[in-house]
Amino acid sequence: MFTHTIVRTPCSKVCDGITSAPELGKPVYGKALEQHAAYIEALKACGVDVKVLPADEAFPDSCFVEDVAVVTRKCAVITNPGAPSRNHETDSIRGVLLEYYDDAVIEKIQAPGTLEGGDVMMCGDTFYVGRSARTNAEGIRQFGEILGKYGFTVIEVPLAEVLHLKTGVNYLENGTMLVAGEFTDKPEFAAYKKIEIPVEEAYAANCIWMNGTVIVPEGYPTVLARIREAGYPVITVDTSEFRKIDGGLSCLSLRF
Closest to ligand CIR by CB, 165 vs 195, is 165
Of the candidate residues 4, 13, 18, 50, the single one contacting ligand CIR (CB under 6 A): 18
Closest to ligand CIR by CB, 31 vs 228, is 31
Residues 152-171 that bind ligand CIR (CB under 6 A): 164, 166-167
Residues 107-136 that bind ligand CIR (CB under 6 A): 118
Closest to ligand CIR by CB, 121 vs 190, is 121
Of the candidate residues 83, 133, 155, 234, the single one contacting ligand CIR (CB under 6 A): 83
Active-site residue numbers? Answer: 164, 251
What secondary structure, in 3-state letters, does the chain show? Answer: CCCEEEEECCCHHHHHCCCCCHHHCCCCHHHHHHHHHHHHHHHHHCCCEEEEECCCCCCCCCCCHHHHEEECCCCEEECECCCHHHHHHHHHHHHHHCCCCCHHHEEECCCCCCECHHHEEEECCEEEEEECCCCCHHHHHHHHHHHHHCCCEEEEEECCCCCCHHHHEEECCCCEEEECHHHCCCHHHCCCEEEECCHHHHHHHCCEEECCEEEEECCCHHHHHHHHHCCCCEEEECCHHHHCCCCCCHHHCEEC
Closest to ligand CIR by CB, 210 vs 251, is 251
Q: Which stretch binds ligand CIR (CB under 6 A): 34-42, 61-69, 121-129, 207-215?
A: 61-69
Q: Which stretch binds ligand CIR (CB under 6 A): 26-34, 58-66, 153-161, 211-219?
A: 58-66
* 82 touches ligand CIR (CB under 6 A): no
Site string for ligand CIR, 174-213 (x = CB under 6 A): ----------------------------------------
Site string for ligand CIR, 226-255 (x = CB under 6 A): -------------------xxx--xx----
Site residues for ligand CIR per CB under 6 A? 17-18, 61, 64, 66-67, 83, 86, 118, 164, 166-167, 245-247, 250-251
